[in-house]
Amino acid sequence: MIQLKKRISAIFFCLSLTPVVAQAEVANGGAREIVGGEVVSDLSSFEYKHTVRLLVKGVLNGEKVPDQIKGLKMSWRCSGALLSKTVVVSAAHCFPRSIGISDPNTGEMIRADMTELSAEVFFRTDTRADRPWGVKSKKIIVHEGFRDDWYSSVQNAWNPSESVHDLAVVKLAEDAPVEKEAVGLIEEKEAQMTAGEDLVLAGYGRDISDDQVAIPRLRRVVVPWRETLRNGSEWYVGQGDLVRAGRVDRPAGGCVGDSGGPVYVKRGQRVRLAGVIVRGPDEVNGGCRAAVTIVTALPSYNKWLTERMKELALP
């Protein structure tokens, strides 16, 4: 089985954390996203109608954080899907309560608190079409079973036997634009997946072929469903090899920055939300060109999502 480094930047499809004040990357990785897909230009497509971009912000804090970086304002990008006009579903690790970070004085990895978490949500196909500020978050609910350091407590971070619960919802302070629509969750009677079935992954940002200053854009890619992981609550999708990861000739799937991005499936004439993009191999095991993507399987969380929707509907 793939041996992943136990580093948050290597395991998750989350952008390297970027200080707002300095606009410089402080963790490894890049700003690469959907691989082998295409830019979404059709504004009547389900990918455009349901998918959103999130800019998450936080402040680095905690007793162990050196003074020179304590209070540092940071931001990073994730994706999500609209469950209603005011609720977005995304990945839990997009909203970390703590992160592992290198001490600038000693190089030692320390655990730092992430405080004052908030998010802004954007809706257009690329940042040039959006206003400079997004719709602000009113409330963020991270699944109570998710741990920021879960990967250090399991034997196999790539295919864990325990559920990771990498799922979160965001309540918006105002409605999404009129052209955006909520997507329906896959129903229990529709949830049976078959090997090779087409899934559509969507997310914002740079493709691996783009240069480092490219404008983030909404992209889509079609990948096959492969199998359910040992924990029963995550799926492995893509044409890569889960056991022996490595670069493939024509990679297709998620990549760094697609965290929280939707996984769509067609049921008859309807499109359903089936999963949320959460992680993939590190560079040693092929990185984004390995064409392996792990997603949180939403059929395992329909009850949790239904309860959170009711909670967020309260005044």
Q: pLDDT tens-digit profile of 1-49?
A: 343 333 333 334 443 333 333 222 223 233 335 777 888 999 999 999 9
Q: How high is the pLDDT of residue 314?
A: 84
3 occurs within a structural domain: no
Confidence class of residue 308 from pLDDT cuts 50, 70 and 90?
Answer: very high
Q: How high is the pLDDT of residue 163?
A: 96
256 occurs within a structural domain: yes
216 occurs within a structural domain: yes
Mean pLDDT on 300-310: 96
Q: pLDDT higher for 287 or 123?
A: 123
In this prediction, what percent of the chain has a pLDDT beyond 90?
55
Mean pLDDT on 91-107: 90
283 occurs within a structural domain: yes
Please state the φ and ψ torsions of residue 112, each to the nearest 5 degrees.
-115, 140
CB 92 within 8 A of CB 165: yes
The pTM is what? Answer: 0.88
Confidence class of residue 84 from pLDDT cuts 50, 70 and 90?
Answer: very high
Q: Which residues pair with 206 in a beta bridge?
A: 32
Instruction: Using the predicted structure, report yes or no on whether residue 286 has a pLDDT greater than 70.
Output: yes
- Domain span at residue 116 reads 8-313
Give me the number of domains the chain comprises: 1
Distance CA 170, CA 176 (A): 12
1 occurs within a structural domain: no
Distance CA 48, CA 50 (A): 6
Q: How high is the pLDDT of residue 123?
A: 95
Token readout for 215 is: 């404008």
Distance CA 203, CA 270 (A): 20
Instruction: Using the predicted structure, report yes or no on whether residue 87 has a pLDDT greater than 80.
Output: yes
CB 135 within 8 A of CB 174: yes
Q: Tens digit of pLDDT for each residue in 199-222?
A: 999 998 556 554 444 567 899 999
CA 80 to chain centre: 7
Mean pLDDT on 59-87: 92
| One-letter amino acid of 168 | A
Mean pLDDT on 218-246: 90
Residue 233 burial by CB count (10 A; 0-12/13-18/19+): exposed, middle or buried?
buried
Distances in Å between the Cα of 285 and the Cα atoms of 7, 18, 32, 290 are 14, 25, 16, 7
246 occurs within a structural domain: yes
Mean pLDDT on 130-145: 92
Confidence class of residue 153 from pLDDT cuts 50, 70 and 90?
Answer: confident
Q: How high is the pLDDT of residue 252?
A: 76
Average pLDDT, the chain: 84
Q: Tens digit of pLDDT for each residue in 162-210?
A: 999 999 999 999 999 999 999 999 988 889 999 999 999 999 855 655 4
Instruction: Using the predicted structure, report yes or no on whether residue 85 has a pLDDT greater than 80.
Output: yes
Helix, strand, or coil here: 289?
Answer: helix
Mean pLDDT on 149-154: 86
2 occurs within a structural domain: no
CB 65 within 8 A of CB 249: no
Q: How high is the pLDDT of residue 205?
A: 56
In this prediction, what percent of the chain has a pLDDT beyond 70?
85
111 occurs within a structural domain: yes
What CATH number has the domain bearing residue 60? 2.40.10.10
